[in-house]
Amino acid sequence: MKTIVTITGIRPDFIRMSKIFNKLDQAEWCKHILIHTGQHYDNLLSGIFFKDLNIREPDFNLQIGGAGKKHYHQQAELGTKVIELFEKENIKPDLILFLGDSNSVLASVPLRKEGYAIGHIEAGMRSYDERMLEEINRKVCDHVSNYLFVYHNNYKKKAMREGIDENKIHVVGNTIIEPLTEIADLDYVGNKKHIILDIHRPENFKYPDRLKKIIQFANFCNESTKIPVKMLRFRGTMHSLEHNDIDIGNIETIELMGYKNFIKFMQDSLFIISDSGTAQEEPALLNIPVIVPRDFTERPESVLNNNSTMLSVNDTTGFLKALKWATEERHRDCAWLGDGNASDEIVKIIKECLL
């Protein structure tokens, strides 16, 4: 029997990996060990997602998260804790599986150096903006991985341009479809009673001028549509607003929420202003427009298929154009997300490669 270890640590990981966790648990050919790095540690970013998505309790929690803990603190702890855990518990993985671009995937480096086989789901994504910590993380994990699971051919091409062997790359579709379509009522039209403001990336909140412009744009949307803007209360963003004395105007701040509640909350929105990567995918399936206040995106397909539009926050002349795009009816295509069978395909490929 083969041993598969999954290592995840943040909200999007739990959502995207939920079906893979379940399928590995049910597989007769492997033993699945689920490790939570603890990068996201409070209930609204961790525990409630395990409940909403019917994920069992992790076998181990490395507890690398904590208020005020820097990325380099987390990275330094993570490699040591994982390898020491394997030694203490006599865990001998045949494959260690990561997803995405959080600090958790950096454990792939010391693990590969120790001779373990690495698999990376959501491989090949590139924004080519190295202000994003995630861009560095995803590149590093791709280049130490034995198996790269990419969402579609564009990501495969990007990985190959960096010299990654084509034989390591498997096109599987996007894992976000399965949990979303299982929970959401796709026939629900929604009340369009608010605009969601979701800003949590350091490339925005660490720069006061950028953050002020985003707040200015959100207030412009409120004044133009007369629809309230509700801003998710992320710790880093709220600290930056307070520290830099940025007036949020008419924007209402609200607590984070679990997956089920947030899906309904999205469906009731007129549109979303978000710097999240996931927000360029989930709303596409719900037919909710997304305005992305970033200079670059690792998901250009979302823009090309009219699911989202980019907003240059330093060019206020683009505010009206972005608002007009978000409030006009237009054809939006989400076929680029795949057919909804990604988790089955990933588990099937792993089985074929290991047995």
In tens, the pLDDT along 311-340 reads 999 888 899 999 999 999 888 899 999 999
- Find the domain containing 290 and state its range: 183-336
Tell whether 32 and 114 lie within a shared domain.
Answer: yes
pLDDT in tens, 276-323: 999 999 999 999 999 999 999 999 999 999 999 999 998 888 999 999
Residues 297 and 191 in one domain: yes
Among 55, 77, 66, 59, CA closest to 7: 59
Same domain, 195 and 331: yes
Compute the distance between CA of residue 171 and CA of residue 37 in angstroms, rounded to an integer.
27
Helix (H, G, I), strand (E, B) or coil at 92: coil
The structure's pTM equals 0.93
Residues 14 and 48 in one domain: yes
> 342 and 243, same structural domain?
no
User: At residue 61, what is the residue type?
Assistant: N
Please compute Rg for the chain using Cα positions: 20
For residue 187, pLDDT over 80 is answered with yes
What is the CATH number for 262?
3.40.50.2000
237 and 124 in a common domain: no
Catalytic one among 200, 239, 243, 331? 200
| Residue 114 and residue 157 in one domain | yes
Claim to verify: residue 259 and residue 167 sit in the same structural domain? no
200 is annotated as an active-site residue: yes
CA atoms within 13 A of residue 92's CA, in its CB half-sphere: 3
Going 208 to 210 to 212 to 218, the CA torsion angle's sign is negative
Torsion sign, CA atoms 26, 27, 31, 33:
negative
Cβ partners under 8 Å of residue 5, min gap 6: 32, 33, 35, 91, 93, 95, 96, 97
Q: What is the pLDDT of residue 103?
A: 85
Residues 189-212: tens digit of each pLDDT: 899 999 999 999 988 999 999 999
Number of domains the chain is built from? 2
Q: Please indicate, yes or no, whether residues 312 and 346 belong to a single structural domain of this protein.
A: no
